[in-house]
Every structure is written in C-alpha cells, then in structure tokens.
Amino acid sequence: MTDAHPAPDQVVSQLSQSLAQATESHRLLAEEMTIFAKDESLRFANLRLERNGATLEKLQNCHGIPGLIGVQQEWLRDLLQDYASQSMRMMGALRGLTKNAMESAAENASDNIDRMRKEAQDAMDKTSEAMTRAGEQASHAAQDNSNYVQETQH
C-alpha cells in the first residue's frame, strides 16, 4: 500500500510493540522494586543489629531491675520507631515507583489511542471520499445511460 494508512499487519505490529514496551516497563518496575526492597531490608537489618549491640552494652552496665526495665523499654521504643520509619520509607518509595509506572502507562496508552483515532478518522475520510466518487461515477453512468437511451429513441 502506498497510501498514508498502515496495513492491518502494521497495526498489529504497532500494537505488539506497545504491549512489548508495557511489558518491559513492568519488568523494569519490578526490578527497581526488588532492588529497593533488598537495599532497604539490608539497611534495616544493619540498623537493628547496631541497636541490639548498643542494647547489649547497656544491659551489661545497668543496675538492678529498674535499670533492666529501662533498657528493655528503650529497646522496645526504638524497635517500634524503626519499624514505623521503615514502613513509611517503603510506602513512600513504592508510591513513587508506582506513580511513575502509571504515568508512563497512561502516556503510552494515550499515544496509542491518539494514533488509532487518527488512523480511524483517516480511514473514514478515505471511505467517504471513495463513496462520493462512486456516487458521482454512478450518477455519470446513469446520465450517460439516459443520454444513450434518449439518442436511440430519436
């Protein structure tokens, strides 16, 4: 085809490319999330190991039951604070990654819809033009036939 409209196999190819791009975007998102989760888990484990080490040192130097309870409460407070902070960091990062992925997917979908809408409009315009030409040709043929009939009757 030499016209501006892609052939059906080109449309399928473009759709396949769009799906491949979406799949690659999702793969990259999953990879980013996995790396982030691994790094954050290591950071959190190291933080907790440091805090546990500090708690063990405090336990060696504490005096009596009140000192033991104080170290335990401090350790528990830090543990809850660390888990809450870790949860907030994870949610914020995942929200950011998901937002980027959604924006990218929406942009790709919008591009595809715009392209398909333009191609459909072009196809409708060409069909309309073809119908108009066919109507004109039929009208000319009918007029020629009428002229021929009139000539043969005279």
The tens digit of pLDDT for each residue in 22-67 reads 788 888 888 888 898 899 999 999 999 999 999 999 999 988 999 9
Q: What is the pTM of this model?
A: 0.54
Buried b (16+ CB within 10 A) or exposed e, 46-73: eeeeebeeebeebeeeeeeeeeeeebee
For residue 62, give every residue at least 6 positions away whose Cβ sits within 8 Å of its Cβ, in sequence order, or none.
68, 70, 71
